[in-house]
Chain A
């Protein structure tokens, strides 16, 4: 079957569809999505262990668990891990699996680039972590403020500059891929305003990545030249300006916040309607609010720099724009409340996590508004109040939303339902542990406890709440263990899910679980928003909803003999996984010895050369 496509490339095309090699050479968006999520969960455990070490150190005054040096490495790597190796790739993984299914496509626009993005992401993460074994990890904070970051001894911050650069390549290519996929690969009838909200938020996220990644790339290149080649971008002694780093970093960094939260917002915008048995309330409003956040997210970055001294005009302008961006965010919250209002609510695990998202995100949003007020922010800057705030939006928000998505789509991906009982234990433990860990940090911050300090003296009145926060962190760890147990148990004896276990509304539920390689035996013709729901139910003139006789179009082709025959699918390829190591090899070359830059560059070049010559399709 692959004979025609096998000729012409540098290699024989890989043909395995199961087993280890099939995962290495896959270009299937579903397998890549699973790889992304599994890798991100592994990094989640590592970043969590770093967090536990930090909390153990801070549990009591004058803690001795970590030295100051190790503490600096751990809090820096905890931040980098959770942002770049957990929240972003979990979002990307879920997008990968679902975006083509939800728009009725057979794959993403560029399947091999998609695989390349994954391998670059994985190797970028490993590159960053290899620093622990090569003289010390980055220790200047995830924000890498110059001139500290240019002057810290050792290679830690060079690993930071290069590691994030590699991860940025993966994100940028992913962004291009998803923009083209969503705009160009929609099934007939899937107009933009019929797309699920998750797809809209994915699209906005992709545009944010597209324009934010080059800005951080420039900042990181400048840092790299300063550190490795003695350039003077951030060296005040020769007239360089460290504030330039802050502007470039936050011009990326604030859109980055929305890059992390918008996919989670999209997820719960699909979960809440399903478990409320109602369409999303105010579809156009929630879509446009998401787009508005995407635009306004570019005009608020200096609220991270209120303590720098930019002057009253700049501070006031950014204070106003920051308060203003709370408006579209508030619109979304009312959309979610309106969706649940008078709904037929089903409190399954995905729904619990979605409600957890909404409630925790409101707390984080409100404390965010307090930072927008400049005098108030001047008191809060660099205290634990900030740590409390961003964990409420990024853990209480993004992580809860992403877990909602994992529970919701797990049966679609693996064909089996995660245990509801363990799922609820996971949710409640995580919810309680989260609030115990991060709620008290508001108080600690207002009492003046500085962040990024490896220990604190006795008698400051901070002892109790630090201990509570540490207990909370360990409860979160237990909840994650419950989730992992649930995942393993489900693989062995989970309940079969069938195509549509939740009475879903969107196209991914119309195809069997797990989704076949070709996604849809026939490309769906979309006639309405929530098209799949309309295939299952009829709304009578008196607004009475009745199921369509004979069960509608639920996975009609499931039992047909080999329904995917004759469908053109992208063929597996060795080249993405061969090209990806070129980047980390070049990065090691920058740190250790320049010939490696040439070696890595040539590897990348040759693999891309083979890539261009390789035909991309094969008949299934």
Chain B
């Protein structure tokens, strides 16, 4: 697909491998993130039955509820793809609409997570209650923080596009943030499977 590196305006992006610098950097960063989430997921797996005298995962998890919020997050990957497609068509309005939709779906997911956290807290789970509580909140909390950063970047993209700070050829930024967004979604698929679906 036609990314900017062939146009004369961005001549400096001629690279040894032919891959765009920023894209290679994003892939490297995401590789690093795999180890980050991998370590937290390992911690959770070690501790999922260490509930001390606090609530257990069977007491807490509401699989249908979390399935819905997971579905919402997965749909945001679809809207992200549509945003990039609109960007490639040079359809700035369409791109903005799909980026906003992606951000909104992300916000719905985060809202759902906040609701879930407060519910669990009411039922007596906290960082200080058990290793299970610590590892659950910190793992899913860091994922939520990643989604939040993604939402901020999506909104920044929308703003830049509205104020004409995103050139029509500059699909690269949309693509980069898309990569990040899809990665965070994939991490959630793993978390949903490992944390919620595997019975304790």
B15 on the interface (CB 8 Å rule)?
A: yes
Whole-angstrom distance between the alpha carbons of A215 and B17 in the complex?
Answer: 29
Chain B residue contacts of A219, Cβ below 8 A:
39
Whole-angstrom distance between the alpha carbons of A226 and B127 in the complex?
Answer: 9
B120 on the interface (CB 8 Å rule)?
A: no
Is A233 touching B131 in the complex (CB atoms < 8 A)? yes
B36 on the interface (CB 8 Å rule)?
A: yes
A94-136 Cβ-contact flags toward B at 8 Å (1 or 0): 0000000000000001100000000000000000000000000
Whole-angstrom distance between the alpha carbons of A339 and B142 in the complex?
Answer: 50
B59 on the interface (CB 8 Å rule)?
A: no
Whole-angstrom distance between the alpha carbons of A240 and B134 in the complex?
Answer: 10
A166-180 Cβ-contact flags toward B at 8 Å (1 or 0): 000000100111011
Stretch of B43-51, B94-102, B185-193 at the chain-chain interface: B43-51
A219 closest partner in B (C-beta) = B39
Chain A residue contacts of B128, Cβ below 8 A:
229-232
B162 on the interface (CB 8 Å rule)?
A: no
Q: Which of B109-160 contact A (CB under 8 A)?
A: 127-131, 133-135, 138, 142, 152, 156, 160
Is A214 touching B39 in the complex (CB atoms < 8 A)? yes
Is A222 touching B138 in the complex (CB atoms < 8 A)? yes
Chain B residue contacts of A226, Cβ below 8 A:
134
Whole-angstrom distance between the alpha carbons of A149 and B140 in the complex?
Answer: 25
Known A180-B25, A183-B24; contact A210-B31, beta-carbon cutoff 8 A: yes
Whole-angstrom distance between the alpha carbons of A109 and B25 in the complex?
Answer: 9
A181 closest partner in B (C-beta) = B21
Report B20 CB to chain A, min CB distance, Å. Answer: 8
Chain B residue contacts of A312, Cβ below 8 A:
none
Is A180 touching B138 in the complex (CB atoms < 8 A)? no
CB < 8 Å: which of A185, A229, A605 contacts B127? A229
Chain A residue contacts of B133, Cβ below 8 A:
231-232
B31-65 Cβ-contact flags toward A at 8 Å (1 or 0): 11111100110010011001110000000000000
Report A180 CB to chain B, min CB distance, Å. Answer: 5
Is B131 touching A185 in the complex (CB atoms < 8 A)? no
CB < 8 Å: which of A177, A190, A232 contacts B134? A232
Chain B residue contacts of A617, Cβ below 8 A:
12
Chain A residue contacts of B33, Cβ below 8 A:
214
B16 on the interface (CB 8 Å rule)?
A: yes
CB < 8 Å: which of A8, A177, A210, A248 contacts B32? A210
The count of chain B contact residues (Cβ–Cβ below 8 Å) is 38
Is B28 touching A233 in the complex (CB atoms < 8 A)? no
B19 on the interface (CB 8 Å rule)?
A: yes
A453 on the interface (CB 8 Å rule)?
A: no
Is B135 touching A215 in the complex (CB atoms < 8 A)? no
B29 on the interface (CB 8 Å rule)?
A: yes
B2-35 Cβ-contact flags toward A at 8 Å (1 or 0): 0000000000100111010100110011011111
Q: Which of A195-243 contact B (CB under 8 A)?
A: 210-211, 213-215, 217-219, 221-222, 225-226, 229-233, 235, 238-241
- Indicate the member of A215, A238, A568 with the most B CB atoms within 10 Å: A238
Report B90 CB to chain A, min CB distance, Å. Answer: 21
A288 on the interface (CB 8 Å rule)?
A: no
A545 on the interface (CB 8 Å rule)?
A: no
Report B97 CB to chain A, min CB distance, Å. Answer: 21
Report B140 CB to chain A, min CB distance, Å. Answer: 13
A184 on the interface (CB 8 Å rule)?
A: yes
Report A377 CB to chain B, min CB distance, Å. Answer: 26
B13 closest partner in A (C-beta) = A184
Report B167 CB to chain A, min CB distance, Å. Answer: 11
A612 on the interface (CB 8 Å rule)?
A: yes
B89 on the interface (CB 8 Å rule)?
A: no
Is B165 touching A613 in the complex (CB atoms < 8 A)? yes
Is A180 touching B31 in the complex (CB atoms < 8 A)? no
A186 on the interface (CB 8 Å rule)?
A: yes
Q: Which of A578-620 contact B (CB under 8 A)?
A: 605, 609, 612-613, 617
Whole-angstrom distance between the alpha carbons of A241 and B42 in the complex?
Answer: 13
Whole-angstrom distance between the alpha carbons of A239 and B28 in the complex?
Answer: 36
CB < 8 Å: which of B25, B131, B135, B156 contacts A110? B25
Chain B residue contacts of A218, Cβ below 8 A:
36, 39-40, 43
Chain A residue contacts of B21, Cβ below 8 A:
109-110, 180, 184-185
CB < 8 Å: which of B25, B31, B39, B131 contacts A238? B131
A–B pairs, 26, beta carbons within 8 Å: A109-B25, A110-B25, A180-B21, A180-B28, A184-B16, A190-B16, A210-B28, A210-B32, A211-B31, A218-B36, A218-B40, A221-B138, A222-B138, A229-B127, A231-B133, A232-B131, A232-B133, A233-B131, A233-B134, A235-B131, A238-B50, A238-B129, A238-B130, A239-B50, A605-B152, A617-B12
Taking Cβ atoms with an 8 Å cutoff, the residues of A that contact B are 8, 109-110, 172, 175-177, 179-180, 183-186, 190, 210-211, 213-215, 217-219, 221-222, 225-226, 229-233, 235, 238-241, 244, 248, 568, 605, 609, 612-613, 617
Using A215-B36, A248-B39, A613-B160 as known contacts, list a sample of 19 further A-B pairs with CB atoms less than 8 Å apart, ordered by residue number in A.
A8-B165, A109-B21, A110-B25, A176-B25, A183-B16, A184-B24, A186-B16, A213-B32, A214-B34, A222-B138, A232-B128, A232-B133, A233-B47, A233-B131, A233-B134, A239-B51, A239-B52, A244-B46, A605-B152
Sorted from nearest, which 5 A-B pairs have the closest CB atoms? Answer: A239-B50, A214-B36, A218-B39, A231-B134, A230-B128
